[in-house]
Each structure stands twice: as structure tokens, then as C-alpha cells.
Amino acid sequence: MFAKFKATSAAAGSVFGKTPSRPGLDLKTKLAPVLATLSKPYVAPSLALVVFLGLGATFIGLSSDPDAGSPSIRVKMSKEKPATAAVTTDVPVAPSGADAFTIDSLGLFSDAPVGMVDANGQPVDNRAVITLPGGDGGTATAPKLSAQPLPPAPITGLSQPSPQGPLPAIGPNGQTPAQAYARPFRSDGRPMVALIVGGLGINPATTKAAIEQLPADVTLSFVPYADNLQTWIDLARAQGHEVLIEIPMQPVNYPDNDTGPDTLLVNTRADDLNLRLNRVLGRATGYFGVTNYQGSAFLKDRTGVGALTGSLRARGLAFIDDGQGRAIDGAAATMPRASADRIIDQSLTATAIQAQLAGLETAAKSRGQALGTGFAYPVTVATAIKWTQTLNQKGLQLAPASAITRR
């Protein structure tokens, strides 16, 4: 369609009114000053160095930030203020840093607000309540049991001052803390079953529920690191429970499983072991004995266990373990001593716990007595409450753990 335009150089120049220029010559002319500058000594090397340093800085900046080359969006976000938890004046506040003991995964424990009424229309005070699975598929609220108070601690003559706090001591008349602080008990001739619920003092709701809603003959065991430990022990004794304090002992996977600064360690010198023990014992008064927390390694250390039981015997305390210390002998043979027959909540289902409690019943009927231990998981406490209500009809007597230690 379009004819191709052909023209000579002269013709082209006459068309545009000027002589056409040569591009190659114009570029060379324009670059002549730059080339002249670069031909001077040190200019070209200096320029090359600047370029090298610039590239190096860019590389370092990109490599140090893996997202430097990615698009980004900046969003201004306001920080929310943490919610302030309501704290009742009659419940000690749990210390921080003890999350392992604050377990309420099933939500069975709660604080009842003021104004609630129970199934009979009676007002419920502001206290912890536990909701139990009902036999008909519904729920039932465990009531606060009537108090059967024990004498308040400390009892005169049964402690001595120390830099670590008041330590248990045998009284001038020979009375021991194991005798004075134990719950009085008289056998009626039926087989005896005892239960220790431990891990208490950290979670206020679970601790208060265990104190108020478990029968007084259930022994309660408290964590030594709990804040307001003495207050909890006083509340437990006022309700009628005898009390143990837990001694942290080295597990086989220590220090990956760290049981705290006062843990009794394997191959520890006797003076250091006693110092750690005294720091635990000096935190409160009113307990009739101690029990182990962990200790799968320590309880196999014959020297350490010998030093421990010797100290406890000299202070007139009982020693009850969760079953890991059955081989302990020596000084322990002449002190109030017991090993649990079963840990009832190694599997955290009501069915599994009920099976372990049934095993305790069988052992008690076979040997005359049996002892179980458990942790203050909500499902453990809920199942134990219902279990204790069935013992009379099964021909069994619920006994405090101290009664099992008597030889």
C-alpha cells in the first residue's frame, strides 16, 4: 500500500533542510570528556572501588534480612490491657511461675458468684464449688461438708526457730508432730482405705474445693512453693484434714524436669541436703509428715534417702511416699512410714480412676488396709468425692493416711 521511500544522502538533507549527522561520531564526541577523566591516574581504580563497596553493602543488607526483598505492610496495632481477674478476700492468691499445678482442663471447678442458690433453694456463699457428673446424665453440686476442726498450729513445744523458719521438733514430753498433727482415728474393725490428694496450694479454686468438699478423713498434701502456704494449711486443719507437705526430689530426667530450687539431689552432701530439707520444712507448721514430689532418681540413692529419713525421724515426722520408696529401710523402719499401693490418676478419665479405686478396695479387703494417692486434678477430686460416699455400703472404713502408718 505504501511505497518505500528511497533517497540519497543528499536528497535526505535537502528534504529536512540540513545535513544529516553521524550517530557514532556524536556519541564519541559527547563521551570524550568522560573518557579523558577516566584516563587520568587513580580515577578508574577509585571509581571501581566505590562501585564494589556499594554492591557489597547492598548484598549484606539483603542477606541480613531474609524479607528485605519482599513487599511489606505496616499496621499500627493498639496493645490490649490484660483483664484483671477478680480475687475474693478469703482465698489466697496463687503465685506465678507454677503453671504445672494450675490444671483445670475439664472446667469442673469455679468460683460461685454471690447470689447463687443450690438445688434446695438455699443461698450459696462466695466459695469454690465442684460440679459432679450425675448418675442420670445431669450434674450435681458437691456441698461444703461440716467442719471437724483439728487444733490450730503451731502446738506449743513442737517447733524450734531456725534461719529457715520454724522447724518441727519432738516435744519435751516426747510427743511428736506425727502424733500431734495427725487426725485422730479409731478403727471399727472394717478394712481401711486411705487417700491422699496432693498438688494443693497453687490453684485457689481447686484447693478450696478439695478442703471443703472432700471428707475430713481424706489427707491433703501441699506444694511447698505455694504462696500463703500456712493459710492453706490452717484452712485445711480447720475443716478437719490432716496435712502433709511435699518434698521435691530429683527425677531421672532432671534438670529437664526441674522440680525447683529446694530439690533433694542425688549424691548431695548431708549438710546441703539438710539445708534444702529445712527450707521446705520451715515454710509452715501443722503437718504430721512429708511425702515425695517426683523422686524417681533420689529414692534410689541409699545414702541420700538414709540422710533424709534420719532427719525426719529426729524431728518426729512421718514419711509417706507414692509407691516409689517401698524398698526404703534402715532408719525408716523405726519411724511412721507407709508407701502408697496405687496412684489412682495416672490415666485422667473417671473410668480409669474408678478402676484404681476399686483396686484399693480389693487390696483393703485382702490385707486389712490400703493407701492410694492422687493429684488435685478436677476429675480426680470429683471422682474421689463420689467414691467416698459409697464406702460404708461396701463394708469399708475411710481412714486418714496417718492411720495406715501405724505399725
CATH number given to 110-146+171-405: 3.20.20.370
**Cβ contact 128:121 at 8 Å:** no
CA distance 100 to 266: 23
CA distance 355 to 359: 6
Angle at 390 between CA 387 and CA 392, to 5 degrees: 130
Question: What 3 state SS string does 257-284 have?
Answer: CCCCCCCECCCCCHHHHHHHHHHHHCCC
CA distance 54 to 264: 61
pLDDT tens string for the chain (407 positions)?
Answer: 433 333 333 333 333 344 444 555 555 666 666 566 656 666 566 666 666 666 655 555 544 444 444 333 333 333 344 343 333 334 433 333 233 333 333 333 333 333 333 334 343 343 444 554 444 333 445 788 898 999 999 999 999 999 999 999 999 999 999 999 999 999 999 999 999 999 999 999 999 999 999 999 999 999 999 999 999 999 999 999 999 999 999 999 999 998 999 999 999 999 999 999 999 999 999 999 999 999 999 999 999 999 999 999 999 999 999 999 988 865 566 899 999 999 999 999 999 999 999 999 999 999 999 999 999 999 999 999 999 999 999 999 999 999 999 65
Q: How far apart are the first and last CA of the chain?
A: 124
Q: Which of 205, 216, 268 lies closest to 243, judged by CA?
A: 216
Q: Which residue has the cell 487417700?
A: 195
Give domain limits for the chain.
110-146+171-405
> b vs e for 131-140, b when ≥16 Cβ sit within 10 Å of the residue's Cβ?
bbeeeeeeeb
pLDDT of residue 32: 65
Cell numbers standing for residue 359: 483396686
Let me know if 116 is exposed, middle or buried by CB neighbors in 10 A (0-12, 13-18, 19+).
middle
Cell numbers standing for residue 343: 496412684
Tell whether the torsion through CA atoms of 301, 304, 308 and 310 is positive or negative.
positive
CA distance 317 to 261: 22
CA distance 388 to 214: 8
